[in-house]
Amino acid sequence: MEITTVSGPSFFLREIYLSCVSVTDIVEGAVLNEEQTADIIEAGLCFVVEQKALEYLNRSEQCSFNLKRKLLAKGHSKKCIDLALAYLESKNYLSDERFARVWLNNRKINHSEGRIKLLSELLVRGISKNIAEKVLDDFFNENSEEEMCIKAYKKCVKLKKTEEKIISYLINSGFSVKLVNRARDLYESEK
């Protein structure tokens, strides 16, 4: 909905951002009290936040946590951000689960990392533990964690790292000790 003020400037808003004014109250020549005027202005600001969020989403998939952080840094109010992001989530323009899937698939291109590290990285990005674990289960159903560990182990051997450094590196990359030992044993049996 487009709103044009008496003094000329116009702005847009969505009905869902209004808390105390009904759309039917917004008619040409309507006289509004302070509370109603503030509600309409806030709804307009929410629409501005929504549009800025969509700009970020058009560039790349985003998670709610980072998108909120970016919008706060731009000086938008927390209330407007929360309302706008809730709207975008309701329309499926914003999805932490979709972000996590995209992030994992992009991450595997240049990194061989295990479940422990990937879970930690998703949690740092504000992805809930339930969503992160679900997405990781799907990811590791399609990508063998063992094969990723073996690949990383072989890369370390090519770089002439000591056994101690290889094990330390792989554990820091999120692979379990059991998986690292299995990768080492498989590598040794292939020699």
pLDDT of residue 190: 79
Buried b (16+ CB within 10 A) or exposed e, 128-158: eeebbeebbeebbeeeebeebbbebbbebee
* Cα–Cα distance measured from residue 6 to residue 102, given in angstroms and rounded to the nearest whole number: 47
Q: What is the mean pLDDT of the chain?
A: 91
> What CATH number belongs to 95-143?
1.10.10
Where exactly are the structural domains of the chain? Answer: 2-90, 95-143, 145-191
Q: Can you name the residues that pair with 4 across neighbouring β-strands?
A: 10
Element (H or E) spanning 42, and its range?
helix 34-59
Q: pLDDT of 13-58, one tens digit each?
A: 888 998 888 777 777 777 778 888 888 889 999 999 999 999 999 9
Q: pLDDT of 139-189, one tens digit each?
A: 999 999 999 999 999 999 999 999 999 999 999 999 999 999 999 998 888
Q: Which fold has domain 2-90?
A: Arc Repressor Mutant, subunit A (1.10.10)
* Cα–Cα distance measured from residue 44 to residue 50, given in angstroms and rounded to the nearest whole number: 10
Which one is predicted more confidently, 108 or 96? Answer: 96
